[in-house]
């Protein structure tokens, strides 16, 4: 039997909701939700805590995948500490959500991020490395956030980020960002110039630290805390 044709005026779903489970963490027991992106088959995730659909703005983080930082403890970036900081803060408040988007390497993928790191070892900064590889400085897209937030009836968020593009993107998607909650964690000798480049070239809202010079002793990975 032939499948019924989808009427031309109905946009195709970006995401299919798949399933959920309890996810105990050191800070709280979250609920892990999973979706499948229709066009790529990628699995996107959310960690949710508390009553999210009661109309109060939700403490939220939109986190882009960083395997090296989130899983392998890399100090080249601040991603792992930001993820931990966001989860801790949500646990403290007892309510909130982390959207975990599978757009590794600012959207260029893991292998290309590793290639970009090699170029950075040869002197390029994080933006120049992407451009040398033929990519945009930031190839991410946040449109999936809308159906993910819709799942919980979330229309307004207090967004944990230093990245103005995320605020713009959510606003353009019709989500009200009532507050930006800064997320400044784990600046160290390995990621200091990376963070300075994000501020200078990508518009991130974070003060540059000039006192951390290359070759200085590396600060131990501090427990994540939200500034
Ligand atoms: N191409 C590239 N990607 C990187 C590099 N360092 C980290 N990333 C990626 O950058 C992204 C960082 O994601 P987020 O922490 O959510 O976003 P952000 O733009 O830093 O904004 P906030 O953390 O919200 O302030 C992840 O996808 C990382 O994999 C790099 O040197 N090159
Ligand atoms: Zn990272």
Using CB atoms within 10 Å of the CB of residue 162, give its burial: 0 to 12 exposed, 13 to 18 middle, 19+ buried: buried
* Coil, strand or helix at 206: coil
Residue 95's pLDDT is: 98
- 161 within some domain: yes
pLDDT digits (tens, 9 = 90+) for 73-89: 999 999 999 999 999 99
Closest listed residue to residue 79, CA positions, set 126, 131, 28, 149: 126
Cα of 63 vs centre of ligand 1, distance in Å, is 9
Distance 216 CA to ligand 2 centre (A): 21
Work out which ligand 1 atom sits closest to the CA atom of 206: 25
The answer to whether residue 207 sits within a structural domain is: no
CATH code at position 98: 3.40.50.10990
Q: Assess whether 138 carries a catalytic annotation.
A: yes
Q: How many Å apart are CA 129 and CA 75, to the nearest integer?
A: 18
Residue nearest ligand 1's atom 3 by CA: 105
Is residue 129 included in any domain, yes or no? no
In a domain, 187, yes or no: yes
CA-CA distance, 199 to 195, in Å (whole number)?
Answer: 6
Ligand 1 neighbour 107 (Cβ under 6 A): no
Domain that holds residue 47: 15-103+140-202
Q: Among 46, 72, 106, 161, which is best to mutate for testing ligand 1, by the most ligand atoms less than 8 A from CB?
A: 106
Nearest residue CA, atom 4 of ligand 1?
Answer: 105
Among the options 70, 78, 125, 138, which is catalytic? 138
DSSP state of 124: -
Q: Whose CA is nearest to atom 18 of ligand 1?
A: 163
Distance 122 CA to ligand 1 centre (A): 20
Ligand 1 and 197: CB distance under 6 A: no
- Ligand 1 binding pocket includes 186 (Cβ within 6 Å): no
- Report the distance separating Cα 184 and Cα 161, nearest Å: 8
**pLDDT range class, residue 191, cuts 50, 70, 90:** confident
What's the total number of domains in the chain?
1
> Does residue 111 sit within a domain?
no
pLDDT value for 218: 33
Question: Could you confirm whether 125 is annotated as catalytic?
Answer: no
Q: Answer yes or no: is 120 within a domain.
A: no
Tell whether ligand 1 has an atom less than 6 A from the beta carbon of residue 130. yes
Is residue 186 situated within a structural domain? yes
By alpha-carbon position, which residue is closest to atom 31 of ligand 1?
126
CA of 158 to the centre of ligand 2 (A): 22
Per the rule left: phi > 0, alpha: psi between -120 and 50, beta: everything else, 47 is beta
- The pTM (predicted TM-score) of the whole model is 0.88
Residue 182 belongs to a domain = yes
Among 9-18, 52-61, 136-145, whose mean pLDDT is lowest?
A: 9-18
pLDDT in tens, 10-53: 667 899 999 999 999 999 999 999 999 999 999 999 999 999 99
């Amino acid at each position: 039997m032939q499948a019924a044709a989808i009427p031309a005026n109905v946009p195709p779903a970006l995401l299919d909701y798949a399933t959920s489970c309890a996810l105990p963490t050191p800070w709280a027991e979250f609920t892990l939700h999973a979706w499948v992106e229709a066009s790529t088959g990628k699995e996107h995730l959310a960690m949710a805590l508390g009553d999210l659909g009661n109309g109060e703005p939700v403490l939220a983080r939109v986190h882009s995948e960083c395997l090296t930082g989130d899983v392998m403890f890399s100090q080249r970036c601040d991603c792992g500490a930001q993820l931990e900081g966001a989860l801790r803060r949500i646990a403290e408040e007892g309510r909130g959500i982390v959207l975990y988007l599978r757009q590794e390497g600012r959207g260029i993928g893991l292998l290309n991020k590793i290639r970009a790191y090699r170029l950075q070892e040869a002197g390029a900064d994080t933006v120049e490395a992407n451009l040398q590889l033929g990519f945009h400085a930031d190839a991410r897209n946040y449109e999936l956030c809308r159906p993910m937030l819709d799942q919980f009836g979330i229309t307004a968020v207090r967004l944990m980020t230093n990245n103005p593009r995320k605020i713009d993107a959510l606003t353009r998607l019709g989500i009200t960002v009532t507050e930006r909650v800064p997320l400044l964690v784990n600046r160290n000798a390995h990621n200091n110039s990376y963070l300075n480049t994000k501020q200078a070239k990508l518009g991130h809202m974070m003060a540059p630290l000039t006192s951390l010079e290359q070759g200085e002793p590396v600060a131990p990975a501090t427990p994540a805390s939200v500034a």
